[in-house]
Chains A and B, each alone.
Chain A
Amino acid sequence: MTRTLLVQQFLNGLAIGSVYAIFALGFTLVFSILRIINFAHGAVFTLGAYLTYALTGSQFGINGLLANATLGVRLPFPLALIGGSLLAGLAGVALERVAFRPLRARGADPLLTLVSSLGVAVAMVNVMQYLFGAEIYSFPPRPFGNVPPAVNFGSEATPIPVRSVQVIIFLVSVAVLAVLTYLIHGTRVGKALRAVAEDPVTARLLGINTDRLIVFTFFISSVLGGLAGTLVGLSVSIAGPYFGIAFGLKGLAVIVLGGLGNIPGTMLGGLLIGLAESFVPSQHVAYRDAVPFALLFVVLLVRPYGLLGEAGSDRA
């Protein structure tokens, strides 16, 4: 592998890894306070991408109920990205209302909540298919105006070009991770979140409104999911309504690798899996999708609770 390729792979790995991390943090946040994996998170990811696409004023395909429709507005891409992610966050709030709260109110088995979130995921994915059709969507070219298509990380003599999209994805992800870290460690809400994650009963006794906090967590989690969906869609394309399911699986690998409910672990897991994938030799590239899971399997055999996880963090 040449040095150029090495640097390129590394930077690409960081970019995709950071998207994995922000997507998987959505899982982690919900898990840390509810001890439940939200299986609809992958569907929210897809929804976020479609919403951003719609907000850019692009036209829908011909197969869905919304054939050839466009939204009245035509936002510049960065605004559409923010808008789409916030709307995905609202969808997450609705999701909590429909699939999680009724079961929580009845004190149901956490496994059952997993199934109900799964049911909602199936419904969401198929509603999207019904509305948007199954075709592949691509974001309009040059979403950032006059930014050149590639950034040179080498010298003039030996250029190491990396797609600007990858660089932007990386920067956005890092910014989001920084904001999130501040949110969790520097604000009152974050403190409450950590308290509930530590011990929900005591937190409630201390006057923390857990229901409101859970809604807030679903909002943040789904904003992250929707944002990740748009970023991946931007990097490749929106590959149909089932787009988020495969990505959701990788997200699961990330959170388990890092240790369930562990926020730094999730960030580490995301980056590791992104890097591991990007360094798969090109002749074996067909096996790339198996890499996160092989890595996960091996790590679990050595560390049964993930890289940064601890025993007892699996009260699922």
Chain B
Amino acid sequence: MRRSRFTSRSLRRPGLNRPSIFLGCIVLVFVCLFPFVWMSLSSIKVLNELYTIPPQWWPEHPTLANYHKVLFESRIPRYFLNSIIISVAATGLALVLAVFAANGFARFRFRGRSFWQACILVGQLLPTAAIIVPLFITLRVLGLVNTYWGLILVYMIITLPLSVWMLTSYFKAIPLELEEAAIIDGASRVGILFRITLPLSLPGIVAVLVYAFITTWNEFIFALCFATDSRVKTLPIGLAEFSTEFNTDWGAVMAASMVMTVPIALLFLVFQRHFVGGLTAGASKG
């Protein structure tokens, strides 16, 4: 019995059986999509079908007017561009800084390491309400209010600490033997970082990238205070602009939310094959 089991299976990983996978996926998809479906259906409803009693799923008169308003009659396209620029730049900058810092924390033992690690997390721990006024003063003094750079820098506070923290744990998971082999071969620390550590932790890098991008993409309160000019405003502010004092154009908000959400999900769909990484069977042999 034993012999047949491992001779037939040693070449591929066993997993859950098909029905379990199927069931699991159904549940996962339902849980994740249920509100999203409600949102997307709302985005094609006319105003008087949005808040009916009893509520109804499917619109009687589906319309694309909300999308038309969002894409052609609002400032959303411009805000989309701003959000892309700011999020990409903030993510890039955070990644660069985090890769180096995580390497330092994961691979070296130096005095006060725990202290510095805790210091990095400090930024994430301060309540927004406490830091927003002094940050505003800082930006004003530096002349960075209403600029891309102002927001990009401020976003370091919400992306860098977590990125360093997460990358440190991904780097730690890579076996030491690989690096020691490279040192014996005469590689430098930086060389090891770029040629061994990074490629092997690619899923972790992608995960951190996703995290940083999504966080800056959806950030509201800093953008609200530090970007008051349409040329720099981001998408979350654009969403808020569909609400006037006593009214919220829900159809437009839902349509704009779709515009904000779907591209990210599609982007992830394209990039998620980079998620499959790690050590291939041959790497540790020899």
Question: Do A and B originate from a single complex?
Answer: no
